[in-house]
Amino acid sequence: MPTLAIALGALVLYLVAYHTYGKWLARKIFKLDPKATVPSVALNDDKDYVPTDKSIIFGHHFTSIAGTGPIVGPALAVIWGWVPALLWVLFGSILIGAVHDFGSLVVSMRNRGQTVGDIAGRVLTPRTRLLFLSILFMALTIVLAIFGLVIAAVFKTYPASIFPCLVQIPIAVIIGTMLHRRGVNILIPSLLALAVMYVTVYYGNQGFLQAFNSTLASWSIITWCAVLLIYSYVASVLPVWSLLQPRDYINSLQLLSALGLVVIGLFVAAINGGAPLPDGGESLPLEIVAPAVNLHPQGAPFIFPFLFITIACGAISGFHCLVSSGTSSKQIKCETDAQFVGYGSMLTEGFLAVLVILACVAGLGLGSSNPDGSGGILTGAEAYNARYSTWGASSGLIAKVGAFVEGSANFLKALGLPGNFAIALMGVFVASFAATTLDTACRLQRYVVQELASTFAPRISPTALAAEAYDFDDNKEGASRQAGEAADHKPHALNPFTWLTNKHGATIFAIVIAGLIAALPAPGKEWTMENAGKGGLILWPLFGVTNQLLGGLAFLVITFWMWRRNLPIWFIALPTVFMLILPAVGLSLQLFSESGWIAKENWLLVSIGFATLALEAWMLVEAFIAFPKAKGVLEPELPPLPATGISNEGGRSC
């Protein structure tokens, strides 16, 4: 019963937080206005800026921010005990994570959908824009390089998840076309898509489909990385309504419905116990089999600050500011939808993280395969200890994902669902989350590359360019070559930075860089086709601290934006300081500890680690100098919008 009480208590706490703290932020702090003109309307281009129903944006936003983060992080962090992990998820998501996501979304909406990195250059100082965008580029490169490996590992471990994940793509294109071109009601297509996806999970590993899944599961990691990066390119350059939006939306339907089944299964298991064991044993009662607190697990780093870095998604993750300001802010059609999308999605992710914790510390005890491959079913504390006795035993990707998949599948089996179907469903759950993060990250990286390139692209007037014999047909300023001019003009578009301001050039650059890193072998391994594709693991140790540093820097931007408007910042000051100090301490420990990167002579990580600390310190100095002068002083206005035929004035009501 304690397991059920924790789940229900967390659900009630999140509902109360949404309708109290979230509503206070929306009405009293951000003053969301249903009549305000939003970027999706003012800049509607039917590609990136598209006014969209809040339920569809919620689906896109939730699946994009979640990824495997709220699964992998909590599934590892329970090694320090389930109580610290649970407390950080509950209060971190309500007081820090949801405020971060909501604030990033609102600030971006009020700045024409610019990313937080671009906004930093106006609300802090121009130099901070480049500093912030550089950190964003590094973090997103790691995501793109590593998530192909994550998805491939899930597919190899759970082949039954391959066909259901692939079939989501044509379903998404059909749904997107129906909703956008024909304007049909979303309910019927949603229900049909959900039914089809569950049918593919149930029958997706039978007959010839089993052979199909097995063939694709045998692909090498590098093959999967290449295929997934190509898919990410396509998803990034297509209009957002054609693939990214509908795929994330129908994914969210499946994922949220699966979460609902897990909750119901948890309830049944708490009352009646788990399903009978496959060896004929009796069903076991649902109980927490992990220690409440374990400050010194064998081989694990100290709980502070690494608990707060290990659990990022589910509590607070800097990656979320990129989704809020990179894609979601360009799709919100009404300012008041921002609370549901920004604050609500983070609380939903927090609840997912709570269920992950319960699956690993209680569901796993109902019956788990032996992770050493020796066969047999482990139960109770023995099942937990087999994965969490040491840091090394629990730190592998498959160990963490497997703990959640088997633990949550035990909840589903308590409902009477077949074991194979339960495992396949949770495998699809993990792979789908990872895939939505991959394609969204590619689109976000495209925006970052375009913003960086625009800084260095030629900013010469059309007259001066013409005098130098440049062809500026593709100049962003909109000039065009006059008829009759000499045909031997220099092609302005050949300037590499100008080329990178184009969506195709920026996206190709992003996936090529990520692909080159991914093609490397794992650290310490020789290059072979078997080892290729694991190169993202080289930089992966940096991702946790870099990700949390993004959260702190996003908080800094939000704080300055509010400070300039004389809005209260007391509620955001402590999270800002916490999220700036936390990654700095974590990164310093990884650099200077006895078993750190310097001691191991890992000079690549050492150099990037020092560069990251230097970038953070530089931004903080810039902020410290600017802060006293910024109070009540608005940042420079954005240039006027071009004539589009769309009114940019207020007065439109949602």
Candidate from 189-198, 513-522, 526-535 with smallest mean pLDDT: 526-535
More confident residue, 536 or 606: 606
Give the strand pairing for 368-369 and 470-471. unpaired
Alpha carbon 206 to chain centroid, angstroms: 32
- The rounded percent of the chain whose pLDDT value lies above 90 is 50
Token pair in block for residue 637: 């206005």
Identify the top-confidence range among 182-196, 246-260, 367-381, 565-579: 565-579
**Cα–Cα separations (whole angstroms), residue 650 to 32, 33, 260, 334, 634:** 13, 10, 40, 12, 20
Identify the CA nearest to 574 among candidates 22, 116, 102, 95. 95
Candidate from 207-221, 466-480, 483-497 with smallest mean pLDDT: 466-480
- Helix extents (H) in 327-418: 338, 344-361, 380-388, 391-395, 397-413
Q: How many other CB atoms sit within 10 Å of the CB of residue 324?
A: 32
d(CA 397, CA 150): 8
Predicted local confidence at residue 652, as pLDDT: 56
Q: Express each pLDDT in 111-148 by its tens digit.
A: 999 989 889 989 998 888 888 888 888 888 988 888 88
- Average pLDDT (607-630) is 90
- Is the predicted pLDDT of residue 474 greater than 80, yes or no? no
Q: Is the dihedral of CA 505, 615, 62, 419 positive or negative?
A: positive
**Cα–Cα separations (whole angstroms), residue 604 to 541, 546, 607, 613:** 11, 15, 5, 14
- Is the predicted pLDDT of residue 463 greater than 50, yes or no? no
d(CA 614, CA 427): 40
Identify the top-confidence range among 101-105, 404-408, 513-517, 537-541: 101-105
Q: Are 324 and 330 in contact (CB under 8 A)?
A: no
Identify the top-confidence range among 181-185, 198-202, 487-491: 198-202
Q: How many other CB atoms sit within 10 Å of the CB of residue 482?
A: 7
d(CA 62, CA 66): 6
More confident residue, 613 or 498: 613
Predicted local confidence at residue 627, as pLDDT: 92
Predicted local confidence at residue 480, as pLDDT: 37
Q: How many other CB atoms sit within 10 Å of the CB of residue 486?
A: 8
Predicted local confidence at residue 473, as pLDDT: 43
d(CA 435, CA 438): 5
d(CA 411, CA 427): 14
DSSP 342: I
Give the strand pairing for 368-369 and 377-378. antiparallel
- Number of H helices and number of E strands within the chain? 28, 4
Q: Are 9 and 89 in contact (CB under 8 A)?
A: no
**Cα–Cα separations (whole angstroms), residue 181 to 2, 176, 251, 423:** 50, 8, 21, 37
Identify the CA nearest to 542 among candidates 592, 601, 586, 594. 586
Q: Are 139 and 553 in contact (CB under 8 A)?
A: no
Candidate from 203-207, 258-262, 646-650 with smallest mean pLDDT: 646-650
Alpha carbon 419 to chain centroid, angstroms: 29
Task: Provide the CB-side half-sphere exposure for 636 (13 A, CA).
Answer: 11
More confident residue, 262 or 499: 262
- H or E element in which residue 229 lies: helix 221-237
Residues β-bridged to residue 491: 471
Give the chain's mean pLDDT. 86
- Is the predicted pLDDT of residue 106 greater than 80, yes or no? yes
- Average pLDDT (374-392) is 86
| Radius of gyration of the chain measured on its C-alpha atoms | 25
Q: Is the dihedral of CA 201, 202, 204, 210 positive or negative?
A: positive
Give the strand pairing for 490-491 and 470-471. parallel
- Is the predicted pLDDT of residue 213 greater than 90, yes or no? yes
Token pair in block for residue 613: 């600390």
Q: How many other CB atoms sit within 10 Å of the CB of residue 575?
A: 22
Identify the CA nearest to 290 among candidates 368, 398, 372, 377. 368
d(CA 123, CA 555): 12
d(CA 258, CA 525): 38
Omega of the bond leading into 305 within 30 degrees of 0 (cis): yes
- Average pLDDT (582-595) is 91
Contacts of 560 (CB under 8 A, 6+ apart): 123, 124, 623, 626, 627, 630
Angle at 376 between CA 370 and CA 378, to 5 degrees: 60
Give me the helix-helix angle, 344-361 and 82-92, nearest 10°: 170
Task: Give the 3-state DSSP-derived string for 114-169, with helices as H, strands as E and coil as C.
Answer: CCHHHHHHHHCCHHHHHHHHHHHHHHHHHHHHHHHHHHHHHHHHCHHHHHHHHHHH
- Average pLDDT (69-83) is 93
Residues β-bridged to residue 518: none
Residues β-bridged to residue 390: 298
Residues β-bridged to residue 378: 368
Predicted local confidence at residue 183, as pLDDT: 66
Phi, psi of 31 (to 5 degrees): 50, 55
> What is the chain's length?
654
Predicted local confidence at residue 458, as pLDDT: 57
Predicted local confidence at residue 477, as pLDDT: 38
Task: Give the 3-state DSSP-derived string for 476-504, with helices as H, strands as E and coil as C.
Answer: CCCCCCCCCCCCCCEEHHHCHHHHHCCHH
Residues β-bridged to residue 471: 491
Secondary-structure breakdown of the chain: helix, strand, coil percentages, each rounded to the nearest 5: 70, 0, 30
Q: Express each pLDDT in 232-286 by its tens digit.
A: 999 989 998 888 888 888 888 888 899 999 999 999 999 999 888 876 667 889 9
Contacts of 505 (CB under 8 A, 6+ apart): 499
- Average pLDDT (579-607) is 90
- The rounded percent of the chain whose pLDDT value lies above 70 is 90
Query: 0.85 exceeded by the pTM?
Result: yes
- Is the predicted pLDDT of residue 491 greater than 90, yes or no? no
Token pair in block for residue 442: 């590619």
- Is the predicted pLDDT of residue 1 greater than 80, yes or no? no
- Is the predicted pLDDT of residue 648 greater than 80, yes or no? no
